[in-house]
Amino acid sequence: MRQAPIGKPLPAGWVYVGRPTDLGNPFYLRTPASTEKRAEVISNYERWLDGMLAQPGSDQARMMDSIEQLAIEGEGVMTLVCFCAPLACHADVIATRLRVRLGLPEPGQASQEGGQQGEPDSSPGGSGEAQG
Protein backbone atom coordinates (compact mmCIF):
# COMPACT_ATOMS: atom_id res chain seq x y z
CA MET A 1 0.00 0.00 0.00
CA ARG A 2 1.19 3.50 -0.74
CA GLN A 3 0.26 6.87 0.68
CA ALA A 4 -1.98 8.90 -1.62
CA PRO A 5 -0.12 11.74 -3.33
CA ILE A 6 -1.93 15.02 -2.69
CA GLY A 7 -2.96 16.94 -5.80
CA LYS A 8 -1.26 14.60 -8.25
CA PRO A 9 -2.72 11.99 -10.60
CA LEU A 10 -2.07 8.37 -9.66
CA PRO A 11 0.32 6.35 -11.81
CA ALA A 12 -1.06 3.48 -13.89
CA GLY A 13 -1.82 0.45 -11.74
CA TRP A 14 -2.49 2.51 -8.61
CA VAL A 15 -6.04 2.52 -7.19
CA TYR A 16 -7.24 4.91 -4.47
CA VAL A 17 -9.46 3.06 -1.96
CA GLY A 18 -9.88 5.71 0.74
CA ARG A 19 -12.85 7.97 1.37
CA PRO A 20 -15.09 8.84 -0.47
CA THR A 21 -14.73 5.73 -2.69
CA ASP A 22 -17.10 2.80 -2.25
CA LEU A 23 -14.32 0.85 -0.50
CA GLY A 24 -13.41 3.73 1.81
CA ASN A 25 -13.57 2.97 5.54
CA PRO A 26 -16.85 4.23 7.05
CA PHE A 27 -15.35 3.83 10.55
CA TYR A 28 -13.40 6.89 11.68
CA LEU A 29 -10.32 7.28 13.85
CA ARG A 30 -9.47 10.30 15.93
CA THR A 31 -5.98 11.55 15.37
CA PRO A 32 -3.70 10.49 16.92
CA ALA A 33 -5.12 7.00 17.40
CA SER A 34 -3.68 4.20 19.47
CA THR A 35 -2.58 1.00 17.79
CA GLU A 36 -5.41 -0.82 19.57
CA LYS A 37 -8.06 1.64 18.34
CA ARG A 38 -6.68 1.43 14.79
CA ALA A 39 -6.89 -2.39 14.97
CA GLU A 40 -10.49 -2.14 16.23
CA VAL A 41 -11.51 0.17 13.37
CA ILE A 42 -9.85 -2.13 10.82
CA SER A 43 -11.60 -5.16 12.34
CA ASN A 44 -14.94 -3.34 12.12
CA TYR A 45 -14.19 -2.52 8.49
CA GLU A 46 -13.32 -6.16 7.76
CA ARG A 47 -16.71 -7.36 9.07
CA TRP A 48 -18.53 -4.57 7.21
CA LEU A 49 -16.70 -5.25 3.92
CA ASP A 50 -17.35 -8.99 4.10
CA GLY A 51 -21.05 -8.25 4.58
CA MET A 52 -21.10 -5.86 1.63
CA LEU A 53 -19.17 -8.25 -0.62
CA ALA A 54 -21.72 -10.97 0.18
CA GLN A 55 -24.28 -8.77 -1.63
CA PRO A 56 -23.36 -9.18 -5.34
CA GLY A 57 -25.07 -5.96 -6.45
CA SER A 58 -23.55 -3.72 -3.78
CA ASP A 59 -21.37 -0.76 -4.77
CA GLN A 60 -18.53 -2.33 -2.81
CA ALA A 61 -18.80 -5.64 -4.70
CA ARG A 62 -18.80 -3.80 -8.04
CA MET A 63 -15.73 -1.75 -7.10
CA MET A 64 -13.93 -4.88 -5.88
CA ASP A 65 -14.76 -6.59 -9.20
CA SER A 66 -13.30 -3.58 -11.06
CA ILE A 67 -10.10 -3.63 -8.99
CA GLU A 68 -9.79 -7.39 -9.50
CA GLN A 69 -10.07 -6.88 -13.27
CA LEU A 70 -7.37 -4.19 -13.15
CA ALA A 71 -5.11 -6.58 -11.25
CA ILE A 72 -5.71 -9.30 -13.85
CA GLU A 73 -4.93 -6.89 -16.68
CA GLY A 74 -1.77 -5.84 -14.84
CA GLU A 75 -0.79 -9.49 -14.34
CA GLY A 76 -1.29 -9.27 -10.58
CA VAL A 77 0.68 -6.05 -10.19
CA MET A 78 -1.18 -3.13 -8.64
CA THR A 79 -0.93 -0.73 -5.75
CA LEU A 80 -3.75 0.20 -3.38
CA VAL A 81 -3.53 3.79 -2.19
CA CYS A 82 -4.84 5.44 0.99
CA PHE A 83 -3.77 8.30 3.24
CA CYS A 84 -3.06 5.93 6.16
CA ALA A 85 0.11 4.45 4.68
CA PRO A 86 2.47 3.34 6.04
CA LEU A 87 0.28 2.58 9.10
CA ALA A 88 -2.08 -0.40 9.28
CA CYS A 89 -5.10 0.42 7.14
CA HIS A 90 -8.38 -0.90 5.75
CA ALA A 91 -6.55 -1.22 2.41
CA ASP A 92 -4.68 -4.17 3.95
CA VAL A 93 -8.07 -5.92 4.28
CA ILE A 94 -8.90 -5.14 0.65
CA ALA A 95 -5.49 -6.48 -0.44
CA THR A 96 -6.08 -9.73 1.45
CA ARG A 97 -9.51 -10.17 -0.16
CA LEU A 98 -7.99 -9.52 -3.60
CA ARG A 99 -5.21 -12.07 -3.00
CA VAL A 100 -7.82 -14.70 -2.19
CA ARG A 101 -9.93 -13.83 -5.24
CA LEU A 102 -6.87 -13.90 -7.53
CA GLY A 103 -5.34 -17.02 -5.97
CA LEU A 104 -2.18 -15.15 -4.95
CA PRO A 105 -0.16 -16.30 -1.92
CA GLU A 106 -0.08 -14.39 1.33
CA PRO A 107 3.05 -12.26 1.86
CA GLY A 108 6.09 -14.43 2.49
CA GLN A 109 4.58 -17.65 1.11
CA ALA A 110 5.87 -17.29 -2.44
CA SER A 111 9.50 -17.11 -1.34
CA GLN A 112 9.01 -20.34 0.59
CA GLU A 113 7.35 -21.97 -2.42
CA GLY A 114 9.83 -20.94 -5.08
CA GLY A 115 9.13 -17.23 -5.64
CA GLN A 116 5.89 -17.26 -7.60
CA GLN A 117 4.94 -14.33 -9.83
CA GLY A 118 2.53 -11.81 -8.36
CA GLU A 119 3.71 -12.10 -4.79
CA PRO A 120 2.20 -9.28 -2.73
CA ASP A 121 4.59 -6.91 -1.00
CA SER A 122 4.86 -8.05 2.62
CA SER A 123 6.58 -4.98 4.07
CA PRO A 124 4.71 -3.03 6.78
CA GLY A 125 2.05 -0.94 5.10
CA GLY A 126 2.89 -2.59 1.80
CA SER A 127 0.42 -5.45 1.77
CA GLY A 128 -1.64 -3.72 -0.88
CA GLU A 129 1.07 -4.00 -3.47
CA ALA A 130 1.53 -7.08 -5.59
CA GLN A 131 4.77 -7.43 -7.48
CA GLY A 132 5.39 -9.60 -10.51
Give the pLDDT confidence of 68-100 residue by residue, as tens digits: 888 888 766 778 999 888 899 999 999 999 999
**Residue whose C-alpha is closest to residue 24's, from 103, 80, 92, 90:** 90
Alpha carbon 125 to its chain centroid, in Å, reads: 10
Tally the residues of the chain.
132
Reply yes or no on whether the pLDDT at 40 is more than 90. yes
pTM for the full predicted model: 0.75
**Residue whose C-alpha is closest to residue 128's, from 44, 114, 102, 112:** 102
- The domain locations on the chain are 2-131
**Residue whose C-alpha is closest to residue 120's, from 90, 87, 96:** 96
Averaged pLDDT score across all residues of the chain:
79
Query: Model confidence at 106, in pLDDT bands (50, 70, 90)?
Result: confident
